Structure 1
Amino acid sequence: MRHPSTDLADAMAGAYNAGDMERVIALAARAGDGADEGVLLLLGLAQQASGRYDRAATTFHRLVQRRPEVSAYWNNLGVACRLSGDLAAAEQALSRASALAPDDAEVLYNLGLLHIQQRRWPLAREALLDAVERAPGFIDARLQAAYACYVCGDNTAQEAMLAGAPDWPGQPAEQALILSAMLSAQGDLAGALRTLERARLPGGPADEPLRWRIAAQRVLLHERNNQLEQAQRALERLPLAALEALPADARQARADVWRAHAALAMRSGACAEAATLYRRALALATDDETRASIGFALASACDRQGRHADAWHAVQDAHAAQLEIARHVLPELLAPDSQPLQAAELDHAAYARWKPLSAPDDRRSPVFVVGFPRSGTTLLEQMLDAHPDFRSMDERAFIHELTERMAQVGQRYPDDLADLTQSEADQLRAAYFRMVGRVLPDLGRHRLVDKNPLNMLCLPMIMRLFPQARIILCLRHPCDVLLSCTMQPFRSPAFMVLCSSLQRLARGYVQAFEQWYRQVEVFGPRVLEWRYESVVGDLDDHLARLGAFLDLADASPMARFAEHARGKRFISTPSYAQVTQGIHAGAINRWHGYRDQFEPVLPLLRPLIDRLGYTV
């Protein structure tokens, strides 16, 4: 004969599977204080599913008291505590679950979600990557791991987590918005749009605001990829007047739509209208990333109107928000004497110890485009990419990743470059070209353009693997460079910190160039200096010089770079819009509008300004 508790548990399971959580809870009441393990488990799950998180935590706490050796019950308790807002209790429960089942991907996933809620991003990244390692098909874990990597600035791991993401099943709308943004940042517009198309709405009153948010993101994706006609058509389906019909609490939907209208207003030159819309959106921002993103956009709108004081105020607020992000990712960089730009160099004696190794000639080596960010590197990259002999791969940190590969096998960079064997050097080059091949599978016989500004800090690695490579150093007035960096929403936490104050940024800029010139003296690389202001003044002459440096028979295709850039699917840097517009002088001496802010750092910059041939 069946035991009554078995019948009760079966009835509860049937109700739970049918989605009737109220019936599950009502049935559980019949068991009273003598409810068995199965009844308590179903009760806790139903309470959690119906939003009664405190009660669910109480129920799961009863379970762990009865069966403290069962990791799943501690996991359930941790989830309920996290959802109820008791993060300390959640961490204690999930830590216990992890100790009992260290290889349980579900536990690691929930621990990662907890760390995200705590804004402990490096711990979240670690736990979620561990979850994916143990369960590679765990899509929710892959998505959240990618997001943690995104916040931490770990682009390589983020891309690995999102492999195949466009073919994942449709995601809940909130997650689809995050996933589409990450795919777009990787240059996969088609995947980003497909993710939005397949987003799952929750049903009920929340659907309409989410539809508006998805539509607004579609506008921004097209704009970010320079598809302005598609962006405008999508925007026409989001009339501002219709926002009044949205529920009063649909704050995020309103902000997203205002941002979409503002972005297109900026592209059409209606900067005052854009500034008004950005201010409305900023007033509704609730998280640091949104405040920063809108703040930088508002600063740009004010700057283009010549309202420099307003622009500076907006950009300082944006940096304050970014510093809060960085504080939870790399808190050690916030120390006053920290150096966000990590660099390593060699002296003449260390270079003299290098063993001779064979290496590719200049035609089989990449052309490296370096310089401090915002010095015109993207402009030059697009010029080179417009030439049929070259292929660029957008901005990649592959050379830097080779230094990390050395560390992974116990080699010190740059000291142990001297002792590399031919086989080890060949393996590093092969690893580099494998990474290139994932981005440019059809590179073929084209010459590779590796544009990464801060490769200027990796000259020892470049010279060890590609000693015959041609290197182009992009130069621009230091004050214009620093102003442009200050105005940009960089994703790297280290660069967030570096650009957070003009004093810190100026110090980093000077240190980068001092190291560059010391390393140039040591290695004697083949370098062409490419000066932004001179290029603007006489493009044809400088293209001829560039062609001669690269041994090109005909440099003229590079003059059509703006048309070429408009046809590209994606340009990852903040210059994605400017490079489609051709050469213009508007960015020269832009810093003069902010001279009062620059006066305190001019003594630090003046020696380098003089060395580079500029004036103040």
Structure 2
Amino acid sequence: MIRDPRASDDREGRILGLLEDARSQIDNGQPDAALPLLEEAVRLAPTSGDAHCELGRALNNLRRLPQARAVLEEATRLSPCSAIAWNRLGHVCRALGDPDSAEPAFRRAVDLAPDFPAALANLASAHLARGDAETGVGLLQRAVKADPGDPGTRAKLGDALQGLGRLNEADSAYREALSIDPAHVPALAGLGALLSALGKYRPAEETLRRALEAQPADSVAIASLAHVLELQGRNQEVLSLIENAPWTRPPEWAVVTTARQLLRLGHREAAAARLDGLDQTSMDWRSRTAALNLRGRILEADGDYDSAFLAFRDANRVRPSEFSPEEFTATVDRLIRFFTRDRLATLPGAGCSSDRPVFIVGMPRSGSSLVEQILASHTRVHACGERTDLYALPRRLAGGAPADRWPECLAGADTGTLVQAALAYLEAEVTPGPGTSRSTDKLPANFLNLGLIQLLFPRARVIYCRRDPLDVGLSCFQQDFQSPGMSFARDLGHIGLYQQGCRRLMRHWNEVLDLQMHTVDYEDLVAGPEREARRLVRFVGLEWEDRCLQFHESDRVVRTASHEQVRRPIYASSVGRWRRYARWLGPLRMALDAPWPDRIAPAGR
């Protein structure tokens, strides 16, 4: 039988027409109209990778994700060299909560098309999601180079740089995106969050309101603006912002935020009623954690400490802890073994003569925000809050493999690298006030990095904040910390271990380092605020100013969990709080008293 070639041509023309019409429908936001066209195309061309790829795209846009995944897997089988199909498959796998399948798909797309901007950006997001920020930034920079006219990629680059603490670079990325599209909402939202992080609350608010003018229902911009207002104690304005937002139904985070403002305004029953209206079984983990944590605060305010503790415990159980007791103890021991006095004498240094940096370290919730706020009230001090750039430096110096190479890589480091790192840290200090001669960095976990700090800044000063370990442990357990580095705080036993490691390492640093160090005990600061404040100011090498005792009147906004407390004069009610919860703190006590080397991760959740 002889086939008519015109029939084959007509068939191919029909398929191409279906695909073209379907793409147009999807581009116009009508994937439902495209779906029957694509199903017909697949029926006519069951071995066409292009037809399957477009059908997978339509199903994804219709949120029929399992079907989309199956179709796109078939597309990659039929067209294994299609970067578009692999990229779309990765996108669907990520939406299905399967990052382990998404990342290889994105990587395959980039291998096939090294200058494919969307695939580069998606692979970057996969690296960022698992904490490999440096690689993520590099991929996003490649994506920007591949498509310099796309503001969206520049905004994503800004977000990644901001997460790394490279704030000046992030600022440039956002502003470059806005030079392309002045109304680009993700860039405006990112820039607003950045300005907030820099303490520039008025321009942050203005920028976020510009984003909402362009897109009034953008939840990221609303959430960022609510955060800016909340940090400043403008609780009623937060309520108004959320209540007037043009959404059909407020998202769960907005309900929790509303309840938190009501509690701060003294309306405990109204706050509890808002939480009662939430279906916690369907909530995402962030909102559920926040809701349970807030429930605990309401119960604590009512004096029901047993029920409050159970709520805090449930909040910490929502997500598993990434904290590894074995890795933490190994890290502490490794630092102690490496940074001996003899070894320090042989290591290269930056030769930096600056005495500007003041590092405030210790356990979270040990009074570090209060110490910084006292110093920040001095006219010669610029308070930088919790900077993350130095904390991220060990990973960079170790070539992205700190578990394998840190801190031993310092033995082979060249002086130029350390000089560059020290200068970069000093230059990254954003908008220091005129006439200031000291800048504070109060990231508590820098107690792990004091050996590195001596190599970079031998004239730096260190303030070590201490507090009753039971009060510290309870307070950490009651916080809704979001940072992965704070995951130890979800388990009482892990908190006790972390405190032991902090104390152990600080004893070691005091024995081997030449850095100037000053210890502040929270209880002493509460009992004698003027005496301890004067000692602090004298330690950082400045003349006393009476305004340091009026720190609570400062309009400086604190971005940490202590942002409410530092707006009030020093109070003693937080001393001995653990006694209200004593019956629940057995795992914390056991971990604090256990011998350091012989421990198994305690189950204190």
1:141-198 deviation digits (Å, cap 9, x = unpaired): 5666787899xxx54379966754476556789x999997788567675547745653
Q: Which residue of 1 aligns with 2:598?
A: none
Q: Is the 8 A contact 1:506 1:604 kept in 2?
A: yes
Q: Which residue of 1 aligns with 2:260?
A: 263
Amino acid at match of 1:479: L
For 1:399, what is the secondary structure of its paired residue? coil
1:96, distance to aligned residue in structure 2 (A): 5.0
Does the alignment pair 1:230 with 2:237? yes
Give me the whole-angstrom Cα distance separating, in 1, the residues matched to 2:14 and 2:264. 66
Q: Which residue of 2 aligns with 1:613?
A: none
Give me the whole-angstrom Cα distance separating, in 1, the residues matched to 2:282 and 2:188. 20
1:391-434 deviation digits (Å, cap 9, x = unpaired): 01111133333433432399965556577666554333212212
Amino acid at match of 1:382: Q
Select the residue among 425, 428, 442 that pairs with 1:432: 425
Give me the whole-angstrom Cα distance separating, in 1, the residues matched to 2:587 and 2:85. 59
Give me the whole-angstrom Cα distance separating, in 2, the residues matched to 1:342 and 1:287. 33
Does the alignment pair 1:72 with 2:84? yes
Distance 1:337 1:29, change over 3 A: closer
For 1:586, what is the secondary structure of its paired residue? coil
| Worse-matched range after superposition: 506-515 or 424-433 | 424-433
For 2:518, what is the secondary structure of its paired residue? strand
Distance 1:164 1:263, change over 3 A: farther
Residues 397-416 of structure 1: matches in 2 within 5 Å? 397-408=388-399, 414=407
| TM-score, length basis structure 2 | 0.76
1:449, distance to aligned residue in structure 2 (A): 1.8
Give me the whole-angstrom Cα distance separating, in 2, the residues matched to 1:405 and 1:489. 29
1:300, distance to aligned residue in structure 2 (A): 2.3
1:438-476 deviation digits (Å, cap 9, x = unpaired): x23556653222222222222212222333333222222
Q: Is the 8 A contact 2:366 2:472 kept in 1?
A: yes
Give me the whole-angstrom Cα distance separating, in 2, the residues matched to 1:594 and 1:337. 28
1:463-502 deviation digits (Å, cap 9, x = unpaired): 2233333322222212111111111122222321x11221
Residues 338-357 of structure 1: matches in 2 within 5 Å? 338-339=327-328, 342-343=331-332, 344-345=335-336, 346-353=339-346
Distance 1:467 1:178, change over 3 A: closer
Q: Is the 8 A contact 1:350 1:415 kept in 2?
A: no
- Identity across matched positions, percent: 24
Residues 258-337 of structure 1: matches in 2 within 5 Å? 258-281=255-278, 283=280, 286-323=283-320, 326=321, 330=322, 333-334=323-324, 337=326
1:260-288 deviation digits (Å, cap 9, x = unpaired): 33222222233454344334346365221
Select the residue among 432, 457, 477 that pairs with 1:466: 457
Amino acid at match of 1:337: E
Q: Which residue of 1 aligns with 2:119?
A: 107
Give me the whole-angstrom Cα distance separating, in 1, the residues matched to 2:521 and 2:260. 30
Does the alignment pair 1:571 with 2:558? yes
Give me the whole-angstrom Cα distance separating, in 1, the residues matched to 2:369 and 2:356. 20
Q: Which residue of 2 aligns with 1:491?
A: 482
Distance 1:463 1:217, change over 3 A: closer
Q: Which residue of 1 aligns with 2:445?
A: 454
Give me the whole-angstrom Cα distance separating, in 2, the residues matched to 1:351 and 1:426. 17
Give me the whole-angstrom Cα distance separating, in 2, the residues matched to 1:524 and 1:66. 65
Distance 1:296 1:282, change over 3 A: farther
Distance 1:280 1:388, change over 3 A: same
Select the residue among 525, 532, 551 that pairs with 1:542: 532
Distance 1:183 1:6, change over 3 A: farther
Give me the whole-angstrom Cα distance separating, in 2, the residues matched to 1:418 and 1:57. 49
Amino acid at match of 1:597: W
Distance 1:73 1:226, change over 3 A: same
1:232-282 deviation digits (Å, cap 9, x = unpaired): 5536748xxxx9xx97xx4xx263453233222222233454344334346
Give me the whole-angstrom Cα distance separating, in 2, the residues matched to 1:553 and 1:129. 43
Does the alignment pair 1:133 with 2:126? no
Q: Is the 8 A contact 1:341 1:508 kept in 2?
A: no
Distance 1:220 1:298, change over 3 A: farther
Q: Which residue of 2 aligns with 1:597?
A: 584
Distance 1:78 1:265, change over 3 A: closer
Q: Is the 8 A contact 1:387 1:558 kept in 2?
A: yes
Distance 1:431 1:182, change over 3 A: closer
Give me the whole-angstrom Cα distance separating, in 1, the residues matched to 2:415 and 2:189. 47
Give me the whole-angstrom Cα distance separating, in 2, the residues matched to 1:428 and 1:213. 33
For 1:400, what is the secondary structure of its paired residue? coil
Q: How many residues align?
A: 568
Q: Which residue of 1 aligns with 2:509?
A: 519
For 2:462, what is the secondary structure of its paired residue? strand
1:555-611 deviation digits (Å, cap 9, x = unpaired): 3121121111xx22x422101111111211121111111111234543654699xxx
1:319, distance to aligned residue in structure 2 (A): 1.1
Give me the whole-angstrom Cα distance separating, in 2, the residues matched to 1:182 and 1:321. 29
Residues 3-18 of structure 1: matches in 2 within 5 Å? 6=13, 9=16, 13=20, 16-17=23-24
Give me the whole-angstrom Cα distance separating, in 1, the residues matched to 2:349 and 2:140. 43
Give me the whole-angstrom Cα distance separating, in 1, the residues matched to 2:433 and 2:490. 40
Give me the whole-angstrom Cα distance separating, in 1, the residues matched to 2:376 and 2:112. 55
For 1:528, what is the secondary structure of its paired residue? strand
Residues 89-104 of structure 1: matches in 2 within 5 Å? 97-104=109-116
Select the residue among 124, 129, 134 that pairs with 1:121: 129
Give me the whole-angstrom Cα distance separating, in 2, the residues matched to 1:596 and 1:492. 28
Structure 2: runs of 5+ lacking an equivalent: 1-5, 596-605
Q: Is the 8 A contact 2:293 2:315 kept in 1?
A: yes
Q: Which residue of 2 aligns with 1:381?
A: 372
Give me the whole-angstrom Cα distance separating, in 2, the residues matched to 1:430 and 1:580. 34
1:385, distance to aligned residue in structure 2 (A): 1.0
Amino acid at match of 1:592: R
Q: Is the 8 A contact 2:466 2:521 kept in 1?
A: yes
| Worse-matched range after superposition: 79-88 or 456-465 | 79-88
Amino acid at match of 1:473: Y
Q: Which residue of 1 aligns with 2:547?
A: 557
